[in-house]
């Protein structure tokens, strides 16, 4: 069966693409960032509501089987201020997600956030979220998955995924995907023999003396953090961040045949598991594209979770059909 999906805080479409690849039908999405919307519209043709979630008319959301939400995680992040629900941004926006969940009552909900959501405020923040989902009528499971362990993507990225079902039996049947072997390397994304635009190289940068002293390994991704550079010892990309395109903070760096350079926006998208042919607006500033990649999800991880969700729903639908025929 084709199951319909609506997506809140859709960003550039990472969650949508994961569910689409798994076989679901994306019919509606919402995103407020105009630059992310521009990228999204390059790759999807269904309805996209370009507005703050508070301004979305709930009655305009079609009946869907699955509702997804990658609500902003700034205040839950280790790198953020950790204000949780006191924060006007993140806490408030989770409650907006909850309001829509209660209004449209989808069969399944899919939520994604940073790993630190579990431990924030000694677990009290996550306790509130769990209680709110139970109050909304959902049974759910959650797990922290690392992209390099569950998506065969060479990026060290841990995120919490929450999957809720209206039907308790469906929840009991659902399992998160098992770890898979990481077979892809940075060389599956980066071709060191292809020279990039000179703006990506650091030979004329104030950081070059420090970088040239530390960067020796061609098989991993380094990270520039203003006053020092760090090598990722497991030969994958460190966690990509939304601010990696601003100055010298969290910039992912590699060595190619032409020197020391930062990853291009396209490469960052591919380190999130987006296909090489995913369309990025050529006229858009790289700073916006870096932010979009850092804020997105790892597509293959979402796809594997989505496949498990759809398998449960298909089995249930087949059982209902068999019971109907037998009666």
Which candidate, 228, 319, 246, places its Cα nearest to that of 285?
A: 246
Distances 50 to 12, 30, 47, 278 between C-alpha atoms, Å: 12, 6, 10, 20
Q: Which residues pair with 237 in a beta bridge?
A: 155
73 in catalytic set: yes
DSSP 138-203: -EEEEEEEEHHHHS--SB--EEEEEEEESSHHHHHH--PPPP------GGGT--TTS---GGGB-T
Q: Which residues pair with 113 in a beta bridge?
A: 160
| The one catalytic residue among 16, 73, 171, 268 | 73
Helix (H, G, I), strand (E, B) or coil at 315: helix
Return d(Cα 52, Cα 30) in angstroms, integer: 8
* Sheet with 249-256, edge to edge strand ranges: 229-231, 222-225, 249-256, 259-262
Widest CA span in the chain = 78
Q: Would you tell me how many other CB atoms lie within 10 Å of the CB of residue 37? A: 20
Which candidate, 194, 217, 116, places its Cα nearest to that of 159?
A: 116
Sign of CA dihedral 212, 216, 220, 222: negative
The residues assigned a catalytic role are 73
């Amino acid at each position: 069966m084709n199951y319909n999906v609506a997506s809140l805080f859709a960003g550039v479409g990472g969650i949508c693409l994961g569910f689409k690849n798994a076989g679901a039908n994306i019919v509606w999405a919402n995103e407020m960032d105009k630059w992310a919307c521009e990228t999204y519209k390059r790759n999807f043709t269904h309805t996209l509501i370009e507005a703050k979630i508070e301004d979305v008319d709930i009655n305009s959301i079609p009946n869907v089987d699955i509702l997804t939400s990658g609500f902003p995680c700034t205040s839950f992040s280790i790198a953020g201020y950790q204000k949780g629900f006191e924060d006007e941004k993140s806490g408030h926006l989770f409650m907006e997600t909850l309001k829509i969940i209660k209004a449209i009552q989808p069969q399944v909900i899919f939520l994604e956030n940073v790993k630190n959501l579990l431990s924030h405020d000694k677990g009290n923040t996550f306790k509130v979220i769990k209680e709110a989902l139970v109050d909304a009528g959902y049974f759910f499971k959650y797990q922290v998955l690392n992209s390099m362990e569950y998506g065969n993507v060479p990026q060290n990225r841990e995120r919490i995924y929450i999957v809720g079902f209206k039907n308790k039996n469906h929840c009991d049947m659902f399992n998160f995907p098992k770890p898979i072997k990481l077979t892809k390397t940075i060389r599956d994304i980066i071709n060191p023999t292809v020279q990039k635009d000179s703006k990506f190289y650091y030979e004329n940068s104030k950081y070059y003396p420090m970088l040239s002293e530390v960067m020796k390994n061609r098989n991993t991704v380094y990270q520039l953090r203003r006053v020092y550079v760090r090598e990722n010892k497991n030969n994958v990309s460190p966690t990509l961040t939304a601010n990696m395109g601003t100055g010298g903070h969290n910039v992912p760096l590699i060595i190619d045949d032409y020197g020391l350079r930062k990853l291009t926006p396209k490469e960052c998208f591919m380190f999130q598991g987006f296909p090489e042919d995913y369309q990025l607006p050529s006229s858009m500033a790289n700073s916006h594209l870096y932010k979009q990649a850092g804020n997105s999800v790892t597509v293959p991880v979402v796809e594997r979770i989505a496949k498990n969700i759809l398998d449960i729903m298909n089995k249930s639908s087949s059982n209902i059909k068999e019971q109907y025929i037998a009666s």
